[in-house]
Amino acid sequence: MSGRVRRLQEQLEQPLLVTNPVNVKYLVGFDSSNCALIVERNRIRLLTDFRYIQAARAIEDVEVVETRRDTIGAIGETLARQQVSFEGVIPWSLHQRLETAGVRLTPADGKIEQLRAVKDEQELETIRRACAITDRAYERLAALQFSGRTERDVAWELLQIFHEEGADDQAFEFIVGAGPTGSQPHGRAGDRVIAEGELVVVDAGCIVDGYASDYTRTFAVGRVEGELREAYDVVLAAQQAALDGIRAGITGVEADALARDVIDASDFAGKLGHGLGHGIGLDVHEAPRLSTESPDTLEPGNVVTVEPGVYVDGRFGIRIEDDVVVTAGGIENLTKLTKDWTEVS
């Protein structure tokens, strides 16, 4: 039995139903779109249908239960008249079907997500590999022609570069936002043609063995000076303040303030409209959060993004984002890519 499952079992007072495929994969390494785990202190059952049963039987230390295609119905029959915990978020339709089947459900308060937030050494090594690929991809990106091309075209070429560098997949839809598109933190790459004198925000990452990287860099197309260069320097200083101050034991709110205070003391006060960062792992966005509303306290082994930004509505945006491991005394920065002001053609 994996250490992950044992740590979970030690916390359980009643059976826990796990239906999120990402959590199933995290606990037992089984990757399927139709599966569930029933975890008890001394027992773990893996339910899936005929399409995945051979792969399920290769998983060690679990009892495999073959179900019909309607695995949810089989769960209801298996757990009828029992008191069962469930993950913090499940579809309402699933909740209703299980209660109708006589399953008495209580929330598990994010136990698995709390485990996932602290990475073991195998997970850290996989994320390091994803970051190394991302470093190389961005280095190649900086050598490309930007001006005269659409945002969408640059995003497509970057995806091809990631593939060539060994990524399994893209971690999310890449953001390539030039000029006013960059003022939207999650602006989508479109048909806007990139012009000289603009800033271009590029947010991209990859998947390696299921784990994600997530970087952002902001490039200057040709010579860019004045307010835009000043804003870049402020964001860079804000990120460095956060990188210098993040360590285990501080809260997500305190981490966010390290960067936010720098921006709010500048001419760009109030222009950081999102949180400083988020956890990454099997999901691109997971615990812990670094924001003004975060309930989290950082622990050794957390992997988080540090991504302050400045966004001037309808004109330009700037974001600089690294992936870091939280340690007792500070961080290990997994991002080796330069943050120097970079001009592209």
Range of the domain at 78: 3-116
* pLDDT tens digits for range 249-274: 999 999 999 999 999 999 999 999 99
Q: Which residue has the higher pLDDT, 97 or 62?
A: 62
What's the pLDDT at 110? 82
Confidence class of residue 91 from pLDDT cuts 50, 70 and 90?
Answer: confident
In terms of domains, do 76 and 146 share one? Answer: no
Provide the residue type at 18 as one letter: V
In terms of domains, do 328 and 195 share one? Answer: yes
What value does the mean pLDDT take over residues 296-317?
A: 96
In terms of domains, do 152 and 14 share one? Answer: no
In terms of domains, do 94 and 182 share one? Answer: no
**What CATH number is associated with residue 78?**
3.40.350.10
| Whether residue 31 has pLDDT greater than 60 | yes
What's the pLDDT at 84? 85
What's the pLDDT at 85? 86
* Closest C-alpha among 326, 309, 316, 305 to residue 215: 305
In terms of domains, do 290 and 144 share one? Answer: yes
Spatial distance between the Cα atoms of 130 and 124, rounded to a whole number of angstroms: 10
What's the pLDDT at 322? 98
What's the pLDDT at 157? 97
| Secondary structure string (H, E, C) spanning the chain | CCHHHHHHHHCCCCCEEECCHHHHHHHHCCCCCCEEEEEECCEEEEEEEHHHHHHHHCCCCCEEEEECCCHHHHHHHHHCCCEEEECCCCCHHHHHHHHHCCCEEEECCCHHHHHHHCCCHHHHHHHHHHHHHHHHHHHHHCCCCCCCCEHHHHHHHHHHHHHHHCCCEECCCCEEEEHHHHHCCCCCCCCCECCCCCEEEEEECEEECCEECCEEEEEEECCCCCHHHHHHHHHHHHHHHHHHHCCCCCEHHHHHHHHHHHHHCCCCCCCCCCCCEEECCCCCCEEEEECCCCCCECCCCCEEEECCEEEECCCEEEECEEEEEEECCEEEECCCCCCCCCEEC
Tokens, residue 114: 């709390």
Confidence class of residue 237 from pLDDT cuts 50, 70 and 90?
Answer: very high
Question: Order of strands across the sheet with 175-178?
Answer: 175-178, 199-204, 215-221, 343-344
Q: Which residue has the tokens 């048909």?
A: 191
Q: Which residue has the tokens 């988020």?
A: 278
**What CATH number is associated with residue 240?**
3.90.230.10
What's the pLDDT at 342? 94
* pLDDT tens digits for range 147-184: 999 999 999 999 999 999 999 999 999 999 999 999 99
What's the pLDDT at 284? 97
Final residue in a domain of this structure, among 85, 116, 147? 116
What value does the mean pLDDT take over residues 323-341?
A: 96
Mean pLDDT is lowest, of 33-37, 89-93, 123-127, for: 89-93
Whether 16 contacts 88, CB under 8 Å: no
Spatial distance between the Cα atoms of 121 and 272, rounded to a whole number of angstroms: 33
Tokens, residue 161: 């570069």
What's the pLDDT at 107? 81
Residues 6 or more apart whose Cβ sits within 8 Å of residue 144? 154, 157, 344
**End-to-end C-alpha distance for the chain, whole angstroms:** 54
What's the pLDDT at 275? 96
Percent of all residues in the chain with a pLDDT value above 90, rounded to a whole number: 79
In terms of domains, do 55 and 128 share one? Answer: no
| Whether residue 90 has pLDDT greater than 80 | no
What value does the mean pLDDT take over residues 81-100?
A: 80
What's the pLDDT at 82? 80
In terms of domains, do 138 and 84 share one? Answer: no
What's the pLDDT at 332? 98
| Whether residue 1 has pLDDT greater than 80 | no
Spatial distance between the Cα atoms of 47 and 56, rounded to a whole number of angstroms: 8
In terms of domains, do 199 and 107 share one? Answer: no
Return the number of other C-beta atoms located less than 10 Å from residue 189's C-beta: 22
What's the pLDDT at 108? 78
Total domains in the chain come to 2
Final residue in a domain of this structure, among 63, 82, 116? 116
Whether 276 contacts 290, CB under 8 Å: yes
In terms of domains, do 89 and 215 share one? Answer: no
Final residue in a domain of this structure, among 116, 151, 176? 116
What's the pLDDT at 63? 93
pTM confidence score: 0.91
Packing angle, helices 121-141 and 151-165, rounded to 10? 130
Mean pLDDT is lowest, of 75-84, 188-197, 320-329, 334-343, for: 75-84
pLDDT, averaged across the chain: 93
Spatial distance between the Cα atoms of 127 and 322, rounded to a whole number of angstroms: 13
What's the pLDDT at 92? 82
* pLDDT tens digits for range 101-149: 788 888 877 889 999 999 999 999 999 999 999 999 999 999 999 999 9
What's the pLDDT at 78? 82
What's the pLDDT at 89? 72
| Whether residue 97 has pLDDT greater than 90 | no
Return the number of other C-beta atoms located less than 10 Å from residue 187's C-beta: 20
